Amino acid sequence: MSGRWRYIYRAIDQFGQVIDVYVSMRRDGGAARCFFTRALATTKVIPVEVTTDKAAVYPQVLDELTQGAWHCTELYANNRMEVDHGQLKRRLRPMRGLKTDQSARIIIAGHAFIQNIRRGHYQLGVDEPMTLRVAAAFDELALAI
């Protein structure tokens, strides 16, 4: 990456669980199609409602992949996504960006995994208080490995 602009696509469900993240050099129909195909394959569920920003390529791609799903582009409807993305940006700012696309993919996917653990979406460390949940989850993962 090293000073070049990249786009981060993120899919979250209605409970705030990060489903998929995708880093792309372009924000076009091909990138949107690839992202939505991966996200739908991860969930194995066809959504009833999809909330996005007002990018012009989304309606056509969503009509192809999710027939009958309502595409919501209302103002502030994607606040849940923006708040989640803000947490990632808060972590990346002290690092002053990432140097390669591969490191971006790894860091962003790892951040999504930690956010899902912290929010209790996995059965890891759920009995612990919120402040100790990530540490307890990694203790449980270490025992499993």
State the pLDDT at residue 15: 87
Examine residue 103 and state whether it is found in any structural domain, yes or no.
yes
Q: 67 lies in a domain? A: yes
Is position 139 within any domain? yes
Q: Residue 54's CB: how many other CB atoms inside 10 A?
A: 10
Look up the domain containing 105 and give its range: 7-144
List the chain residues with pLDDT less than 50.
none
Whole-number pLDDT of residue 39: 94
Cβ within 8 Å of residue 8, ≥6 positions away: 21, 22, 23, 85, 88, 104, 108
Q: What is the pLDDT of residue 97?
A: 79
Residue 16: the pLDDT is: 85
Res 23: pLDDT = 93
Is residue 59 situated within a structural domain? yes
pLDDT of residue 2: 61
Q: What is the pLDDT of residues 41-65, one digit of tens each?
A: 998 888 999 999 999 999 999 999 9
Q: Where are the alpha helices (DSSP H) in 3-118?
A: 29-43, 58-65, 79-92, 101-118
CATH number at residue 24: 3.30.420.10
Query: Alpha-carbon distance 42 to 19, whole Å?
Result: 7
The total number of structural domains in the chain stands at 1
For residue 1, tell me if it sits in a domain: no
Query: Strand pairing of 7-12 and 18-24?
Result: antiparallel
Q: What is the pLDDT, as a whole number, of residue 48?
A: 92
